[in-house]
Structure 1
Amino acid sequence: MKKVLATESALKLIKKLVSKHGPLLFHQSGGCCDGSSPMCYPRDEFLIGDSDVCLGEIGGTPFYMNKKQYEYWKHTQLIIDVVQGRGGMFSLEGPEGVRFLTRSKVFPT
């Protein structure tokens, strides 16, 4: 079972953002404010480190999460969606008037 999926709305937005910005990546760091949301960046402008885990790809775009945050989410499947409103100020979808949102469901035991 995949650890991260995306809704059709999210996949459409990813495709639009790729056409504008080129290859992308997602990172969810944890913590408060912007860190608790999936952030979308140009792939060559965000450095992934040893403290990040790749959960898979959505729309051909890798999705990373901070290891400490992953410890809380490792028993869930993440579903990346899009909702109206402003998200993180550095995430690429901001000017589109929408934001990415992480929903989750617990993996069956």
Structure 2
Amino acid sequence: MSRVDVTGEAAALVRRLTEAHGPVMFHQSGGCCDGSAPMCYPDGEFLLGDADVHLGDLDVGLDRAVPVWMSRAQFAYWSHTHLTIDVVPGRGAGFSLEAPYGVRFLIRSRLLTDHEVPAAQ
């Protein structure tokens, strides 16, 4: 069971960003300046540690899947949700790679179904 997914439009943007920057990764921001946005970075640029949880990998149509991470503290609140990364017009805050394109990544969430909950644990 995957905890994360991506819309077709967001996958197309990730492919474009990968062409420009090489392999990328996502880290779900915890709020404050980023407003709880999924932040896209060149892979390895955002330093991960024991305080981060790997939510899954996105198949965006490239040879390499795109990993998605979240802080362990934030995961404690979001552990019952399925997240979908989407893209919308507008400019987000932060250092995410899509900022110069006049769009921003956005998380759409839903509760896990009764069938999905046991598989997520």
Q: Aligned residues, how many? A: 109
64, 78, 83: which one pairs with 1:78? 83
Measure, in 2, the Cα distance between the counterparts of 1:105 and 1:14. Answer: 22
The aligned counterpart of 1:7 is: 7
Measure, in 1, the Cα distance between the counterparts of 2:31 and 2:15. Answer: 28
Q: Does 1:87 align with 2:96?
A: no
Q: Which runs of 5+ in 1 are unaligned?
A: none
Q: Which runs of 5+ in 2 are unaligned?
A: 115-121
Measure, in 1, the Cα distance between the counterparts of 2:31 and 2:7. Answer: 24
Residue deviations 1:52-87 (CA, integer Å, cap 9, x gap): 001011121100000111111111100100000011
Instruction: Calculate the aligned-residue CA RMSD, in Å.
Output: 1.1
Q: TM-score, normalised by structure 2?
A: 0.85
The aligned counterpart of 2:55 is: 55
Consecutive aligned runs of 4 or more in structure 1 exceeding 3 Å deviation: none
The 5 A counterparts of 1:91-102 are 91-102=96-107
Q: Which has the larger radius of gyration?
A: 2
Aligned-partner residue type, residue 51 of structure 1: A
C-alpha spacing 1:35/1:47, structure 2 compared with 1 (3 Å): farther
Q: TM-score, normalised by structure 1?
A: 0.94
